[in-house]
Amino acid sequence: MNIMKFGGSSLADAESLRRAARIVAAKTQVPLVVVVSAMGGTTDRLVEITSAAAASDQVEATRLVEDLKKYHQTEAHLVIESDLQPQLEIFLETQFSDLYEAVVKLATLGSLTPQLSDEIASFGERLSSYVVTLMLRSKGVKTALLDSREVIVTDDQFTQASPILDATRRRLLDIVPQLHLENEVIVMGGFIAATENGDITTLGRGGSDFTASIVGASLAAAEIQIWTDVDGVMTADPSILPEARRLRVLSFSEASELAYFGARVLHPSTVIPAVDSDIPVRVLNSQKPDVEGTRIISKCPPSSVTVKSIAYKESITVVDIRSTRMLMAHGFLARIFEIFDRFGTAVDMISTSEVEVSLTIDRTDQLNEIVDELKKFSEVTHNAGQAIVCLVGDNLRYTPGIAARIFSAIQNVNIRMISQGASRRNVSFVIEESDLHTTISALHNVFFDKVDKEVFA
């Protein structure tokens, strides 16, 4: 069995949907589970609908709902055979009636709860999974629809729920093999789930990849395929560096580092269930299905390659905390991190000196409250408009002189912080966002001027 996940950009319009159908139809020699994201831009539109309704602007929210309905009707009718279109219309009417009801409820309350946020956000995958199911049936593929809310079980941390893996595995093993007795393909919505009580939850933005990995691990899949709009994992972001190369193979550890530090291809949690079950993950381009993509495995073959890829995170804020009275005193760092934890704000990097602690965050919605708490025992300043650049490679830990090569290449760039990860698979540093393009280009020229063709395409 293989798992195939299609992202929103691979389902954005009728032509994209047809491409996805051709890819799936060509792979039915083995049983397939197809996990789909919401159709292109739908999740963002649902966020707009939610914002309008929460502001009690029911007129605008209704208009946005109607626009979203028209989009799904237009694109779906182009890819679904006429004999199945009555089913489609009944489904769309029901779903958008339910969405409108949720919008009215929110506009009436005037206050958005996390639970209601998840209910509204779930409509994207509920719609796309049904559309893809009917489309595949139109192409003659025996296809069953499986509602993810029936099998992906989570806790009740709405908007960012964590899966309860044992319960999820039991449900998947009870249902999926039975559905595959009569069907070549099972379609599921990614991102959405439910508590054991049946309340709708979501796995957070980008959670469709996580769904695919959870399903793959639970069903002991041979491979988990992530179909997106790029050729695979690249040596750098091709939107910054068009000459970036595709990686043929990558280790799970390297992929995890890249995902965490901003690589656009994978959701940071994607590889965790796959790692635990040692299931290969392959990143592929739905617009170029003949390209072999990037295969992510537990351990890569031996290679002399030091740096595999350069990732980055924008919109970083550096927080400097100074307290000459308490710095490095027992419990000082614990007190700092307790504040960030209390406000649900993750820290990416940290460095200390004799008089100061500096750290980076990428969420600033609670920054004012955090600063107020820190000021009770320290002086605090913060600077936005920063970026983290991260070089990743398993061989970094074995190769002397890496830091010299890195910082010689960017000697004219001002560096705020430097960190070498505890795994020693990454070297990260903080710069001004305005220096990002220059920095990545200079580093790419140094580390990828000559490449191992076994590793890079």
> Given the DSSP bridges, would you call strands 350-352 and 417-420 parallel, antiparallel or unpaired?
unpaired
Same domain for 96 and 218? Answer: yes
In this prediction, residue 264 has a pLDDT band, given cuts at 50, 70 and 90, of low
Q: Is residue 266 part of a domain?
A: no
Whole-structure pTM value: 0.86
Same domain for 146 and 10? Answer: yes
The mean of the pLDDT values for the chain is 92
Q: What is the mean pLDDT of residues 251-261?
A: 84
Domain count, the chain: 2
265 vs 284: CA distance, rounded Å: 10
Same domain for 62 and 157? Answer: yes
**99-110 tens-digit pLDDT:** 999 999 999 888
Same domain for 324 and 424? Answer: yes
Tokens 């193979």, residue located? 249
Is the Cα torsion angle 144, 145, 149, 154 positive or negative in sign? positive
Same domain for 98 and 189? Answer: yes
What is the CB neighbour count within 10 angstroms for residue 82? 8
Q: Which of 192, 212, 229 is the last residue of a domain?
A: 229
Lowest-pLDDT choice from 97-101, 195-199, 297-301: 297-301
Per the structure, the complete domain to which residue 379 belongs is given by 309-447
Same domain for 316 and 223? Answer: no
> Given the DSSP bridges, would you call strands 294-297 and 249-251 parallel, antiparallel or unpaired?
parallel
Q: Which of 190, 212, 229 is the last residue of a domain?
A: 229
Q: Tell me the three state secondary structure of residue 53.
A: helix
State the pLDDT at residue 24. Answer: 98
State the pLDDT at residue 328. Answer: 58
> Given the DSSP bridges, would you call strands 185-189 and 143-145 parallel, antiparallel or unpaired?
parallel
CATH number for 50: 3.40.1160.10
State the pLDDT at residue 274. Answer: 86
Token pair for residue 97? Answer: 């009636």
Same domain for 71 and 206? Answer: yes
Q: Is residue 60 part of a domain?
A: yes
In this prediction, residue 132 has a pLDDT band, given cuts at 50, 70 and 90, of very high
State the pLDDT at residue 262. Answer: 67
Same domain for 345 and 434? Answer: yes
Report the share of the chain in percent with pLDDT over 70: 96
State the pLDDT at residue 109. Answer: 85
State the pLDDT at residue 326. Answer: 61
Q: How many CA atoms lie within 13 A of 248 on its CB side?
A: 11
State the pLDDT at residue 147. Answer: 98
CATH number for 362: 3.30.2130.10
Q: Is residue 241 part of a domain?
A: no
| DSSP, res 105 | H
Same domain for 21 and 122? Answer: yes
Token pair for residue 285? Answer: 């381009």
> Given the DSSP bridges, would you call strands 350-352 and 426-432 parallel, antiparallel or unpaired?
unpaired
**321-362 tens-digit pLDDT:** 987 666 556 678 888 999 999 999 999 899 887 678 999 999
Q: Which of 202, 229, 256 is the last residue of a domain?
A: 229
> Given the DSSP bridges, would you call strands 153-154 and 192-195 parallel, antiparallel or unpaired?
parallel
Token pair for residue 109? Answer: 């309350």
Q: Is residue 22 part of a domain?
A: yes
**67-109 tens-digit pLDDT:** 999 999 999 999 999 999 999 999 999 999 999 999 999 998 8
Return contacts of 74-81, CB within 8 angstroms, 24+ apart: 75/13, 75/14, 75/17, 75/39, 75/131, 76/17, 76/131, 76/134, 76/135, 78/14, 78/17, 79/14, 79/17, 79/18, 79/21, 79/131, 79/135, 79/138, 80/131, 80/134, 80/135, 80/138, 81/138
